[in-house]
Amino acid sequence: MKRFALPLMGLLAACGTPQEQCIAAGTRDLRVVDRLIAETKGNLARGYGYETVTVTTPEWVDCTPHPTPELPTPKRQLCFDEVTRSSRQAVALDLRAEAAKLAGLTSKRAELARAVAPLVAQCQAQYPE
């Protein structure tokens, strides 16, 4: 399934008008800052944040060989292998530092919005809909 994700994302990025593609390319940083602002506001509203924890544990997994013309129904085999899993865990936050981070992100967003306004206007002029 994972091997299809990247080409699919490429196809989805190709969807959209040339104007939308131009605006999306020019406002990428602004969207990242918007996502960070939303995350920080959520952290402040909850009073805690989330952290992604990755754990690797040894487990028995199915490693049966694929059928071949010589062996159309191979015998099932189990192997001991490392399995990696990620999970979200709640973490305590310094709410003053989080509020300061939000103020900095809000300031940065205003700066980026001013910087991309001419680019958006240029994209709209270059690719009218």
Structure-token pair, residue 79? 């192997």
Q: Read off the pLDDT of residues 64-77 as tens digits, 9 standing for 90 and up.
A: 888 888 888 888 89
Cβ pair 124, 19 in contact under 8 A: yes
Most confident of 10-24, 57-71, 101-115: 101-115
Report the distance separating Cα 87 and Cα 61, nearest Å. 20
Report the distance separating Cα 41 and Cα 37, nearest Å. 6
Neighbours of 57 (CB within 10 A): 8
96 has pLDDT over 60:
yes
Short-list 28, 11, 27, 22, CA closest to 129? 22
* Predicted pLDDT at 65: 87
